[in-house]
Structure 1
């Protein structure tokens, strides 16, 4: 691109551009930078709206609007990225005034421009959301609500992108659009509800209310939003989800784990309390390995969860639940060398210390096989022997 043309577009000096072109020919209108930006791209990038207005009124101006740079961005993409509301408005208004004749009739030039995707399949709406430009977002979805349905190469819908970036106002704008097919999808099977976990509960619930089907949708790991908030210990989010749909508490991920197993492994007693309050039979759940929440707590080394479960009445079946390999919680405490948990379990007279797994090993057999040092072995054996004597 001619240096003076570049400077004119960057500074917004349209008179200077005309002077340069008058002396050097119309071809200067169509020159581009190494990134294949034309003068309209440049003017949009630097928000030179007066320059843009004059340029679009010139005979060569409108054709520049459909040209793409090396990333596939049109000048409208660029204007949306930088949040130039006036430039976006002018580009849309110009496209509305144009009429394209195609093989099967007349095409809507404005919709064609708005829905044009770059090399990453981003529309102008993706660009505006990524930049956090709510006024431009509102303008774009007002002109074409179906922009909310288009996902990019990364499988990001506009709603997912807004949720992932924590943009509450943008989320409300998108959810306010009447579009039954409006997408909430994201990459790797994630949804806007997954991505919005870090949002305020008010904004998160709005997604839930408008897209209730997302509550039950799992990502590529099979994790629903409940799996995530339970794993992270977000008790209020857990409560909110269960108020909308308790059935999700019984869903297992692709590894066979429920939200209860995950939160027990992480040690969040308050989340366990909430899950049991909403789903009293949740402790009956076992994973695909036949393991209970108590097994998960022991594997995670969560003494607080073990104590909480032992403190509940009528839990004999759970306390001595054997997994598919016949291992009880006490077996796992021995397998994973959780000495404090071994002691806690050994003090509870309901724990069956003589239970054998499918290899016919008791917990003491497993511990002895570790060939631990004398002091650790003595602690374990004393605990179990005391249990035997009480029995």
Structure 2
């Protein structure tokens, strides 16, 4: 019995190591370096040494099954390629490990001279239709890589050559349209190659969508001229060409499609959205304007949820589209229209936390802020409910949304008694902690102001008189700015102290008084901040008054910031809840300032 070569290793367990293909080093080096004399010598020597009689037997393959023609084509070595094509034409049809013939490589590189040499040496013309592992012929590769001249050479070589789709489902016509080659598209349509039949068209990707994606109106026009039936194809989301043009923000394409086949505007995609809803979702004001001018009745189109174009814009937070629609009198009917959930555009903007859109809507007198949805909620009810849920970053937007609605005078709903009592009880429980946090923040700020102003009352500008006849009296007592400093500092300190006492009382007293206490505390806090700022301005102006330019600069900067403080506090805390539209309109501007500051 024979013993195994290595003890402990059974014969059937021995691995089978394959040897990769290899090319003669001299031949490989001569090919890559373009040394034609050495190349000829290596080819002849290899044939003699291996005693090959047929010419095809001299083919040597590299590790990736590359022949010398693959290598020479990759390096654009024209002389060697020409020599091989003349004397060894069978190389033209050889494939490497990726299924590429030399013609694939030349077409991908866009080298028209190499392609011409290869196609004219292929006696069978078989390499024109050969596919690689991706299902691409040389013509597919040329179009895919955007080489128009190479594509024209390949088509002219054999216009009747049958071509099928590649593995991506892309036809030659699709690739030509995607590349934007009007001449090639015309050539293919006039003398079609490939599976250009009714059955084939519905299996492939639509060339119309490729042309729209390329934003090439000439190709779109040509496709319509040659075969309008191509425009009936849909993409995998069920979208028609008009949907695609809207998504690409392609205004010229939208106009062309509406002019040629207006029915596109009344066709849904897979989720039930019409092109006008897609335009509203993307804030495309110019396209919305164009579509409404062409087909004004599309304003009545609704999504499966019963939402109109204003609903779509509000839900997506597209404030430019919302502003445009509100300016159009003919769209007034859409402003308070409800969807299947009873939600108006204002409800949807509130639900999605689009503060800027909410602010725009509440400013419009035509928007009915009292409307409730199917859950008996106004927009303010929704905002307050979502704010109390504490959804981290989303909560900040809901706080701003609540502010926008309150500034606009939005009411809460008058719900059925049972539901109202339940909601009040839940709201009271949820709001208690929220109000407590607000009070703590304001209490802290008021305490800091009281401390600062108290300190400033004794560290007065200019110091005290240490000599007779008035020891301990302020040296600048007679100065008007000093008197202004003292008055404002005193008002600021006592206002902040009143805020502190009021909020302490609110914390220790009946919780129902919390909102009232906070309502009085905020204006006083605003007054304290304003007076403290004026006191600071007066004090600094006083000590630098000898230098006129510096004193005037301090006065200008300080006055500007004090005006900003007033603009924020006065409208928000005195006008925000007013029933007068003018006051609400004025309070909208400081609200916009808050939005800008917070980056909303």
TM-score range, shorter chain: 0.7 to 0.9
Q: Which has the larger radius of gyration?
A: 2
Q: Does 1:55 align with 2:84?
A: yes
Report the CA distance between 1:260 and its aligned residue.
Answer: 1.0
Instruction: Give, in angstroms, the shift of residue 318 of structure 1.
Output: 2.0
Distance 1:148 1:83, change over 3 A: farther
Aligned-residue offset at 1:21: 3.7
Whether the 8 Å CA contact 1:14–1:55 is kept in 2: the answer is: no
Which residue in 1 is equivalent to 2:382? Answer: 366
SS at the partner of 1:288?
coil
What is residue 405 of structure 2 aligned with on the other side?
380
Alpha-carbon distance, 1:294 to partner: 0.5
CA–CA distance in structure 1, aligned partners of residues 578 and 179 of structure 2 = 55
Partner of residue 243 from structure 2, selected from 210, 227, 234: 227
- In the alignment, structure 1 residue 8 sits paired with structure 2 residue 53: no
Q: CA deviation at 1:164?
A: 3.5
Alignment-derived partner of residue 69 in structure 2: 40
Counterpart selection for 2:209 from 166, 182, 194: 194
Q: Deviations along 1:103-151, whole A, 9 cap, x unmatched?
A: xxxxxx32x3211101111101012223433222111112233568522
Is the 2:182–2:218 contact (alpha carbons within 8 Å) kept by the matching residues of 1? no
In 2, distance between residues paired with 1:387 and 1:302? 28
More helix by share: 2
* Greater mean alpha carbon deviation, residues 354-363 or residues 263-272: 354-363
| In structure 2, C-alpha distance between the alignment counterparts of 1:259 and 1:57, rounded to whole Å | 58
Structure 1 residues 217 and 375: alpha-carbon distance in aligned structure 2, compared to 1, 3 A threshold = closer
Where do residues 1-391 of structure 1 align in structure 2 (5 Å cutoff)?
1-25=23-47, 27=50, 29-58=58-87, 61-96=88-123, 109-110=124-125, 112-145=126-159, 149-167=163-181, 170-171=184-185, 173-179=187-193, 181-182=195-196, 190-196=205-211, 197-371=213-387, 377=402, 379-381=404-406, 382-384=408-410
Q: State which drifts further: 370-379 or 347-356.
A: 370-379
Deviation at 1:369, TM superposition (A): 1.8
CA distance in 2: counterparts of 1:207 and 1:291, whole angstroms: 34
Equivalents in 2 of 1:75, 1:378: separation in Å?
69
Q: How far is the alpha carbon of 1:367 from its aligned partner?
A: 2.6
SS at match of 2:296: coil
- How far apart are the structure 2 equivalents of 1:139 and 1:345? 61
Q: Do the aligned partners of residues 324 and 387 (structure 1) sit closer, same or farther apart at CA in structure 2, a change above 3 Å counting?
A: farther
Change (3 A) 1:340 1:127: closer
Shifted more, 377-386 versus 116-125: the winner is: 377-386
Q: Distance in 1 between matches of 2:580 and 2:311?
A: 26
- Displacement of 1:172: 5.0
Q: Which secondary structure does the structure 2 equivalent of 1:356 belong to?
A: coil
CA gap 1:146/1:359 in 2 versus in 1, 3 angstroms: farther
Larger RCO (CA within 8 A; separation ≥ 6): 1
Greater shift after overlay, 325-334 or 229-238? Answer: 229-238
The root-mean-square deviation of aligned C-alpha atoms, in Å, is 3.4
* 1:37 match: secondary structure: coil
**Secondary structure at 2:272 match in 1:** coil
Gaps of 5+ in 2: 1-22, 51-56, 389-397, 412-576, 582-600
**Deviations, residues 321-341 of structure 1 (Å, cap 9, x unaligned):** 222222111211221233343
Residue 383 of structure 1 aligns to a residue whose secondary structure is coil
Q: 1:358 to 1:144 in 2, by over 3 A?
A: farther
Counterpart of 1:103 in structure 2 is none
| Pairwise CA distance, 1:14 | 4.7
1:349/1:135 Cα in 2 relative to 1: closer, same or farther (>3 Å)? closer
Partners of 2:162 and 2:359 lie apart in 1 by: 57
